[in-house]
């Protein structure tokens, strides 16, 4: 049993009239559109045939002669000068001149230093000689003044003889037993000696006194062998200036005093 023989449903919608003809027209229109598009594309991509034309002048004319092309003149580049070597020979004399100049300056400097040293030495010797002469002159003046004072004091005390000799027997009597200790006790605090020495060296000093105990002269009779100790003792005596009287109120004219560092 075919579809045409099947009974039609009464409720199925009916097909509109002319549907087949519309579809046929649509197919034809699409086919024409595709053909037009293909033709347009092929026309734009094809190359048109070239057209040639010849031009003839009414009167024959001779073409003007054309000058042959001039060859291009290439200007030669100026040669690059070769680098000049450094004047080594010129530098050597300059260095020698500088060396000679430095040597001359050094020699002149040494000569100036030697002259200055010689002048300073001569000046120093001159000053030392002048100071020595002045010291000797002052020492002589001091000694002369001491002798004058000694003679005057001895004369005032009624002593006989000069300053170098003992006086009367009563005035030349020896000091008491403890007088030497009192003399040392007066002088020793004035001794300034900080050097370290070995042993206990002995320095003997002669001291001359005025009747009032004033020290008018001192002399080193026996050196201790240590110059610093001898000088410290003499400076202490000069600093003491006056020594105490003995028990009887008198002062010996001359005393010999021994000094030891460990006393």
55 backbone dihedrals φ, ψ, rounded to 5°: -110, 135
The yes-or-no verdict on residue 72 having pLDDT over 80 is: no
State pTM to two decimals.
0.35
pLDDT tens for 196-243 read 777 788 889 898 888 888 888 888 888 888 888 888 888 988 888 888
Tens of pLDDT, residues 77-98: 777 777 776 655 554 567 888 8
The kind and range of the H/E element at 21 are helix 19-45
Name the more confident of 10 and 157. Answer: 10
pLDDT band at 166 (very low <50, low <70, confident <90, very high): very low
Query: Residue 167's closest CA among 158, 175, 176?
Result: 158
CATH code of domain 179-259: 3.30.1150.10
Residue 163: band (very low, low, confident or very high) from pLDDT cuts 50, 70, 90: very low
Name the helix (H) or strand (E) containing 101: helix 88-156
Count of C-beta atoms within a 10 Å radius of residue 233: 26
Range among 32-41, 90-99, 110-119, 167-176 rated most confident: 110-119
Extents of the domains making up the chain: 90-160, 179-259
Residues 138-165 have a mean pLDDT of 64
pLDDT at 11 over 70: no
Q: Which residue in the block uniquely carries the two structure tokens 């049993």? A: 1
**Longest Cα–Cα distance in the chain:** 207
Euclidean distance between CA atoms 212 and 154, whole angstroms? 11
CA gap 24, 143 in Å, rounded: 173
């Amino acid at each position: 049993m075919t579809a045409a023989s099947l009974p039609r449903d009464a409720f199925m919608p009916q097909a509109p009239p002319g549907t087949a003809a519309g579809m046929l027209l649509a197919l034809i229109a699409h086919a024409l559109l595709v053909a037009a598009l293909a033709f347009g594309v092929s026309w734009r991509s094809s190359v048109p045939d070239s057209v040639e034309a010849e031009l003839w002048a009414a009167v024959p004319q001779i073409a003007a002669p054309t000058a042959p092309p001039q060859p291009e003149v290439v200007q030669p580049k100026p040669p690059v000068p070769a680098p000049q070597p450094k004047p080594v020979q010129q530098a050597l004399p300059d260095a020698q001149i500088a060396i000679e100049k430095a040597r001359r300056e050094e020699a002149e400097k040494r000569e100036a230093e030697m002259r200055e040293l010689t002048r300073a030495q001569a000046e120093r010797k001159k000053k030392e000689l002048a100071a020595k002469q002045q010291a000797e002159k002052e020492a002589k003046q001091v000694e002369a003044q001491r002798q004058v004072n000694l003679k005057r004091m001895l004369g005032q005390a009624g002593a006989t003889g000069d300053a170098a000799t003992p006086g009367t027997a009563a005035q030349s009597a020896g000091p008491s037993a403890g007088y030497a200790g009192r003399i040392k006790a007066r002088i020793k605090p004035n001794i300034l000696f900080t050097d370290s020495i070995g042993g206990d060296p002995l320095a003997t000093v002669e001291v001359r006194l005025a009747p009032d105990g004033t020290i008018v002269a001192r002399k080193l009779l026996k050196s201790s062998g240590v110059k610093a100790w001898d000088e410290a003792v003499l400076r202490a005596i000069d600093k003491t200036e006056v020594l105490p009287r003995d028990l009887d109120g008198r002062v010996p004219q001359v005393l010999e005093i021994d000094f030891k560092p460990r006393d």
